[in-house]
């Protein structure tokens, strides 16, 4: 991936194998982010019981 | 009988004297909000104070009818309203202005120098009633107050205007912090979403339709569930987000505030407990000021929140537009905290945003689409400093800005974007490289979580567009591309390059 970025050319010829490897890493990262965000969106029941009073 | 009005040069002593309705001046000076207001008014350039000695305030009157009228102790039903001006005016000048005997230039300068007002309630301790004050200057665009609205004030027949968001302190009889934080939100939401803007007494009453183990009045606080109930009672939906590691909190707050929707932030303060405040603005710097905002390290391209160093909050225990400085997380898996107006740190626990019912797709549900496209661009693009900017806006606002060129849209797409129908509210995502837009897309807020919500996308950078076009044509990697983007996004993206 670093190599691809450093090509710094407007019309890179994508090497399929190198691109596949970069994509696989990207898929892992995106999946990790999606899982984190899905987990973060689960609001615990206790939150609704909290009293806001100061 | 006191005079109908008093005009005096602005000073802290005069302000404290004016705020004194029921309690002694010494008590006023011990009120933290009064001291804050004095400093605030000096900073925004107050030179003259005009005191309306008898003013009927709608919010206080409702509180009065609900509670104070039924006290054995006699409380007055009228307040004082104290106005502030940036120009120096004598009593005679002011009389000439209101009697329309002054030169029109003098009247115009006087009106332009209007800084807002504070309603002084005739109550012990809870002196600061409805307060509408000018915001700090924009500081070259760094300070943003999207949650303000235009208030039209009539001072003895003289029309005055000010852009602000109303503030008041809690009285602990009809309203605790959560009630007044909601009250401030609803002031702006009425303009934004055409919802109701009830008085504090009505908010506490509707919140307490969910019966809890404490009496509604005197109010000692609300549960988060009751806050949600009060939001539903004005015709809006509560978006509730529990603050956890992995949430880019600063960017999330920005995403909603940018629309002009105030955010209710519940924080925990050591030795005090849970407190609610209303976020009304933010400070956006030209370059990154936060090392992190609590997002996962695998998040990739940073979000705009890393350029925000403080928010402006209506904290009923501090004052209007008080600074809430962002403290980046100490550890990569930590959360941001805040400092401002309290001896201890403010630890964010819950974010509650009253929203129009059809804004269904939440900020955190849009983020994965940014991540997918961001990863693709990282593989294909040139090096540089990237940043995603994601925020809510109305499609009408988008069209107006696109039409006048404030939002850049390629000429060949402009007509279609302007004449086509769009959802009333949209998420707008822009990817920048070195502060120059590369690509942007619009997301349908009425969409479902499982659907493909992107309905418009265009490239600002033709080189990147061509590069992505090439990458999407590499048939040997079509499967992983579809896995990364989803099939729908892959096909959609191919149609744009």
Nearest to B317 among A22, A24, A54 (CB): A54
**How far apart (Å, rounded) are the C-alpha atoms in residues B342 and B313?**
13
- In A, which residues are within 8 Å of B177 by CB distance? 52-54
| pLDDT, tens only, B110-160 | 999 999 999 999 998 899 999 999 999 999 999 999 999 999 999 999 999
Chain B contacts of A26, Cβ < 8 Å? Answer: 375-376, 378-379, 484
**CA–CA min distance A46, chain B (Å):** 9
Per residue of chain A (54 residues), what is the pLDDT tens digit? 333 443 433 345 678 888 999 999 999 999 998 998 888 888 888 898 888 888
Q: Sign (positive/negative) of CA torsion B481, B486, B491, B493?
A: negative
Taking CA B353 as the corner, what is the angle to CA B135 and CA B445, rounded to the nearest 5 degrees?
A: 110
pTM: 0.95
The reply to whether B238 touches chain A by the CB within 8 Å rule is no
DSSP string, B373-408: HHHHHHHHS--S-EEEEEEEEEHHHHHHHHHHTSS-
Beta strand segments in B173-315, E: 222-223, 237-242, 263-269, 273-284, 308-315
Mean pLDDT of chain B: 94
Considering only residues A53 and B402, tell me which one the structure prediction assigns the higher pLDDT. B402
B14-68 pLDDT per residue, tens:
999 999 987 777 788 889 999 999 999 999 999 999 999 999 999 999 999 999 9
Separation between Cα atoms, residue B103 and residue B311, nearest integer Å? 41
Residues B357-386 have pLDDT tens digits of: 999 999 999 999 999 999 999 887 677 889
- Convert the pLDDT of each residue in B71-83 to its tens digit: 999 999 999 999 9
Burial B305-314 (b: 16+ CB within 10 A, else e): bbbbbbbbbb
Write down the pLDDT at residue B298.
52
| CB nearest A29 (choices: B272, B362, B375) | B375
Question: What residues of chain A lie within 8 A of the CB of B247, using their CB?
Answer: 37, 40
Residues of A whose CB is below 8 A from B481:
23
Cis bond before residue B218 (omega within 30° of 0): yes
């Amino acid at each position: 991936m670093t190599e691809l970025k450093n090509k710094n050319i407007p019309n890179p010829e994508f090497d399929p194998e190198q691109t596949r490897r970069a994509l696989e890493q990207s898929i892992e990262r995106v999946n990790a982010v999606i899982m984190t965000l899905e987990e973060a969106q689960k609001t615990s029941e206790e939150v609704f019981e909290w009293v806001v009073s100061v | 009988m006191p005079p109908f009005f008093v005009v005096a040069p602005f000073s802290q002593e005069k302000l404290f004297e004016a705020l004194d309705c029921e309690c002694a001046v010494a008590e006023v000076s011990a009120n933290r909000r009064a001291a804050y207001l004095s400093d605030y008014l000096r900073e925004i350039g107050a030179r003259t104070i005009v005191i309306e000695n008898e003013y009927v305030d709608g919010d206080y009157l409702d509180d009065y009818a609900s509670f104070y009228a039924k006290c054995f102790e006699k409380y007055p039903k009228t307040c004082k309203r104290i106005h502030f001006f940036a120009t120096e005016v004598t009593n005679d000048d002011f009389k000439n202005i209101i009697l329309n005997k002054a030169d029109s230039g003098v009247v115009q300068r006087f009106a332009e120098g209007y800084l807002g007002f504070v309603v002084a309630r005739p109550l012990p301790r809870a002196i600061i009633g409805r307060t509408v004050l000018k915001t700090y200057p924009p500081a070259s665009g760094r300070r943003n107050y999207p949650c303000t609205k235009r208030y039209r004030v009539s001072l003895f027949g003289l029309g005055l205007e000010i852009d602000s968001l109303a503030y008041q302190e809690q009285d602990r009889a009809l309203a605790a912090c959560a009630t007044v934080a909601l009250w401030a939100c609803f002031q702006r939401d009425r303009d934004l979403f055409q919802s109701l803007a009830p008085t504090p007494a009505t908010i506490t009453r509707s919140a307490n339709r969910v019966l809890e183990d404490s009496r509604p009045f005197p109010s000692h606080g609300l549960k988060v569930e009751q806050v949600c109930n009060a939001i539903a009672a004005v015709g809006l939906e509560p978006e509730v987000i529990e603050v956890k590691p992995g949430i880019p909190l600063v960017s999330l707050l920005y995403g909603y505030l940018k629309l002009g929707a105030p955010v209710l932030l519940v924080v925990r303060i050591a030795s005090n407990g849970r407190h609610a405040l209303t976020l009304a603005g933010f400070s956006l710097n030209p370059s990154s000021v936060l090392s992190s905002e609590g997002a996962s390290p695998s998040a990739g391209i940073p979000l705009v929140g890393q350029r925000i160093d403080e928010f402006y909050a209506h904290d009923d225990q501090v004052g209007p537009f008080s600074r809430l400085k962002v403290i980046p997380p100490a550890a990569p898996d930590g959360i941001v905290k805040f400092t401002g107006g309290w001896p201890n740190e403010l630890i964010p626990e819950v974010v509650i945003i009253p929203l129009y019912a059809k804004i269904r797709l939440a900020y955190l549900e849009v983020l994965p689409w940014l991540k997918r496209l961001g990863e693709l661009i990282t593989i294909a693009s040139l090096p540089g400093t990237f940043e995603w900017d994601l925020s809510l806006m109305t499609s009408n606002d988008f069209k107006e800005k696109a039409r006048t060129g404030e939002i850049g849209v390629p000429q060949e797409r402009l007509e279609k974007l302007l004449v086509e129908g769009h959802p009333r509210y949209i998420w707008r995502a822009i990817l920048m490289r070195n502060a120059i837009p590369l690509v942007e897309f619009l997301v349908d807020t009425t969409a479902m979580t499982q659907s493909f919500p992107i309905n418009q996308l265009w490239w600002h950078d033709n080189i990147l567009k061509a590069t992505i076009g090439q990458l999407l044509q590499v048939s040997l990697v079509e499967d992983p591309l579809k896995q990364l983007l989803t099939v729908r996004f892959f096909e959609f993206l191919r149609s744009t390059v």
